[in-house]
Amino acid sequence: MTLSTLALAKSAPMIPVIVIEELAHAVPLAKALVAGGITTLEVTLRTPVALDAIRAIAAEVEGAVVGAGTLRKVADVAACIDAGCQFGVSPGSPAALMDAVQEAGFPFLPGCASPTEAMVLAERGFEVLKFFPAGAAGGVKMLSSLASPLADVAFCPTGGVSLKNAKDYLALPNVVTVGGSWVCPPDMARAEDWAGIERLARATTDALG
């Protein structure tokens, strides 16, 4: 089933940005996040095992909605769909990648960091834009400034978002969810501390609702 990105984003107060270094970590990590109440998962295409990790999560983790992050190339789109991704996310929005995503009807959060980029993407019909890198590109103040002229554009700020500032972003009228890596720190994954990751996820779910 093709998801609406707006419905997807609204259903999750935060989308974890996951880097899987070892394929064997994919399923226990995803299960820990789901057990902690975080079910929409973005596995970044930053490691060689990412697509296999997505395949494994899609097949084995009940309750997870798995997508891919860090899509950069046109070829990534077909590879992600083939792996069972239900959505994709990119730090940017090169035109060729946007064309490929839209031709495939792939639910997608393209990245933007400026009013012009946001206007181009909204005009193309994207419902939710990833505002990246959120902290470095102006943070809450920048998004708040965009809310008046671009009131109909929804954002998922990512990059520098944490449990400390997530609520400030979520309080803005144009923010529907946030993205971040804080619930799956690489050192905890390396230590296979799945109970610790579940606790982080639960603390996040409890705080953000």
The set of catalytic residues is 42, 130
- Written as six digits, the tokens of 194 are 């799945």
Q: Which stretch binds ligand ELE (CB under 6 A): 22-30, 56-64, 115-123, 158-166?
A: 158-166
Candidates 180, 197, 200, 204; binder of ligand ELE (CB under 6 A) is 180
Stretch that binds ligand ELE, among 55-63, 121-129, 157-165, 191-199 (CB under 6 A): 157-165
Q: Does 139 bind ligand ELE (CB under 6 A)?
A: no
Q: Is 15 in the site for ligand ELE (CB under 6 A)?
A: no
Which residue's CB comes closest to ligand ELE?
91
- The Cα–Cα gap between 181 and 197 comes to 11
CA distance 44 to 37: 20
Interface region with ligand ELE, contact rule CB under 6 A, candidates 7-15, 23-31, 156-164, 190-198: 156-164
Query: Least distance from C-beta 134 to ligand ELE, angstroms?
Result: 8
Rounded (10°) CA dihedral 51, 55, 57, 58:
130
Q: Are 113 and 132 in contact (CB under 8 A)?
A: yes
Q: 30 φ, ψ to 5°?
A: -65, -40
The residues in 39-68 that bind ligand ELE, with binding defined as CB under 6 A, are 44
DSSP-derived letter for residue 149 is T
- Is 13 in contact with 178 (CB distance < 8 Å)? yes
Q: Which of residues 63-122 bind ligand ELE (CB under 6 A)?
A: 69-70, 89, 91
Compute the least distance from the CB of residue 68 to ligand ELE, in Å. 9
Between the alpha carbon of residue 12 and those of residues 5, 37, 94, 103, the distances in Å are 11, 9, 26, 26
159 binds ligand ELE (CB under 6 A): yes
Question: Which residues here bind ligand ELE, judged by CB under 6 A?
Answer: 17, 44, 69-70, 89, 91, 132, 158-161, 179-181
